[in-house]
Amino acid sequence: MPKNERLHEVVITAIVVKDGRFLITKRSMKEKRFPGFWTVPGGKLETDDYIHMPKETEHYWYNVLEKVLRKEVRDEVGLEIRNIEYLTSLARIHEDKNPSLVISCVADYASGDIRLQEGEADEHAWVTLEEAKQYQLIDGILDELAMAEKKRLGHKMEWKRMKN
C-alpha cells in the first residue's frame, strides 16, 4: 500500500490526432518506468507549473491541466495542440509504492514539427489504430487509441479492453 493514501502524482497525457492518425512515441531506455515501450506524450503536474501564474479568481487557478498538457507536448515532441478533451483516467501503484493518477486526453494537432526531447523519447510515429497494434505499447494505450477513434466519430464511451 502507498505511504499516504491521499497523495498521488498526477500525470496528464495527450493522444494527438493529425489527419486521422495518432502520435505515439517510444520511451527512452533511460526512463525509470516502461523504458523502450511506446506511449503518448504527457507528463506530471507539479506545483511549479501554476504557482507562479496569476489566479483567475481569488482562490483558484483554472485550466491547470490543459496548460500543463500543452507545455508537456511542446517540451516532449515540439508540437502545439488544441481542442483538448477528456478521454479517461487510470490509477496505478508503482513498484516503488508511489501511486499515480493519469488523466488521458485527446487533442488535435495545431502546429509544429516533431522535435523529440532528449532522454524522454527515442522515436515517434503517426499511426492508424490498426498500425498501432504492431508497436509494443504500454498496456492500455491501444484501448485508449480505440476510444479516441470512436470519440472522433462522435461515439462516447468509458474505457474498456479492446477486442482484437
Residue-wise pLDDT for 112-152, tens only, equals 999 999 888 999 999 999 999 999 999 999 999 999 999 88
d(CA 37, CA 19) in angstroms, rounded, equals 24
The three cell numbers of residue 145 are 487509441
The three cell numbers of residue 116 are 523529440
Q: What average pLDDT does the segment 31-48 reach?
A: 89
Q: What average pLDDT does the segment 20-30 reach?
A: 93
pLDDT score for 29? 81
Angle, alpha carbons 103-109-113 (nearest 5°): 115
pLDDT score for 145? 96
Q: What average pLDDT does the segment 35-41 reach?
A: 94
Q: What average pLDDT does the segment 55-81 reach?
A: 95
| Nearest CA-CA partner of 81 in 90, 68, 93, 94 | 68
pLDDT score for 2? 53
Q: Indicate the pLDDT class of residue 1, thresholds 50, 70 and 90.
A: low
Residue 159: pLDDT over 80:
no
d(CA 100, CA 10) in angstroms, rounded, equals 6
- Position 106, amino acid: V
Structural domains of the chain ordered from first start: 9-152 (3.90.79.10)
Task: Please give the full DSSP string across 117-153, using - where no structure is assigned.
Answer: PTTTEEEEEEE-HHHHTTS-BPTTHHHHHHHHHHHHT
Share of the chain above pLDDT 70, in %: 95
- Position 1, amino acid: M
Q: Which residues of 80-96 are buried (b: 16+ CB within 10 A; e: fewer)?
A: ebeebeebbeeeeeeee
- pLDDT by residue (tens digit) across 80-110? 999 999 999 999 887 888 889 999 999 999 9
Identify whether the C-beta of residue 9 lies closer than 8 Å to the C-beta of residue 96.
no
pLDDT score for 154? 87
pLDDT score for 155? 84
